[in-house]
A and B are shown apart, each in its own frame.
Chain A
Amino acid sequence: RKEVEQDPGPFNVPEGATVAFNCTYSNSASQSFFWYRQDCRKEPKLLMSVYSSGNEDGRFTAQLNRASQYISLLIRDSKLSDSATYLCVSGGYQKVTFGIGTKLQVIP
């Protein structure tokens, strides 16, 4: 089993739609969680950190479920500019792991 698992997609959604991604992690000792965004042929950039209480930044909401060991990302009112790959990251003791990424394509 991979340490961080994501559905690679692609998720094709119309503009204005709400889309959600889940990511599961296997290391129960993980303490730090993030969502990164990666545009085609670019480097990853931090989208959001994920906290136990959940956090929201505009149209983006991230949640952490420690009991089930997954994190989620919700994007509301999708924009064409949201088209990218979304990488889930789990950080445990002395170890940080990226998922394969979920590709999102927002369609006009």
Chain B
Amino acid sequence: EAGVVQSPRYKIIEKKQPVAFWCNPISGHNTLYWYRQNLGQGPELLIRYENEEAVDDSQLPKDRFSAERLKGVDSTLKIQPAELGDSAVYLCASSLDLAGGLYNEQFFGPGTRLTVL
């Protein structure tokens, strides 16, 4: 079974440029997460989708970050314009969660390593 797919794996851009990341979750997984991970830190949740609905985007810097999951399958995360502090690894994860607020195992993609110069 294919895992979570992310692209690109690496991206180097200059500040003020736009950048987009793509994620294809494991087939059948209803929940999709975007995380940002800085060196020496744990993953920080940016946004969580249940199917196509964003149910937690409280940590998403909405002035420059946007995300979509139009058909409830794959998702894109965009930054426009990028700032130096956005350099990090952007991780996508998916899970099959049941109703009732309980969480199941998250499967992570390999991440996109973003460097903003």
- A contact residues vs B (CB 8 Å cutoff): 4, 6, 8, 31-32, 34, 42-46, 49, 87, 91-101
Nearest A residue to B105 via CB reads: A46
Interface digits, B18-51 against A, CB 8 Å rule (1 contact, 0 not)?
0000000000000001010000111111001000
- Are B55 and A101 in contact, CB atoms less than 8 angstroms apart? no
Specify which chain A residues have a CB less than 8 angstroms from the CB of B41 in the assembled complex.
100-101
- B contact residues vs A (CB 8 Å cutoff): 33, 35, 40-45, 48, 55-56, 91, 101-106, 108-111
- Are B102 and A43 in contact, CB atoms less than 8 angstroms apart? no
A8-B44 CB under 8 A given contacts A46-B105, A91-B102, A95-B56: no
The list of the 10 closest CB pairs from A to B, nearest first, reads A91-B103, A43-B108, A98-B42, A32-B103, A46-B105, A100-B42, A98-B43, A93-B101, A101-B42, A99-B42
Q: Give the contacting residue for B42; candidates A32, A87, A91; CB below 8 A.
A: A87
Q: Give the contacting residue for B103; candidates A45, A96, A101; CB below 8 A.
A: A96
- Give Cα A4 to B42, complex, Å: 10
Specify which chain B residues have a CB less than 8 angstroms from the CB of A49 in the assembled complex.
105
Specify which chain A residues have a CB less than 8 angstroms from the CB of B101 in the assembled complex.
31, 92-94
Specify which chain A residues have a CB less than 8 angstroms from the CB of B106 in the assembled complex.
44, 46, 96
- Give Cα A98 to B46, complex, Å: 12
Identify which of B43, B102, B109 gathers the most chain A CB atoms within 10 Å of its CB: B43
- Are A44 and B43 in contact, CB atoms less than 8 angstroms apart? yes
- Are A98 and B108 in contact, CB atoms less than 8 angstroms apart? no
- Are A96 and B48 in contact, CB atoms less than 8 angstroms apart? yes
Nearest A residue to B43 via CB reads: A98
A-B contact pairs, 25 of them (CB 8 A): A4-B42, A6-B42, A8-B40, A31-B103, A32-B102, A32-B103, A34-B105, A43-B108, A43-B111, A44-B91, A44-B106, A44-B108, A45-B108, A87-B42, A91-B103, A94-B55, A96-B33, A96-B45, A96-B48, A98-B42, A98-B43, A98-B45, A100-B40, A100-B41, A101-B41
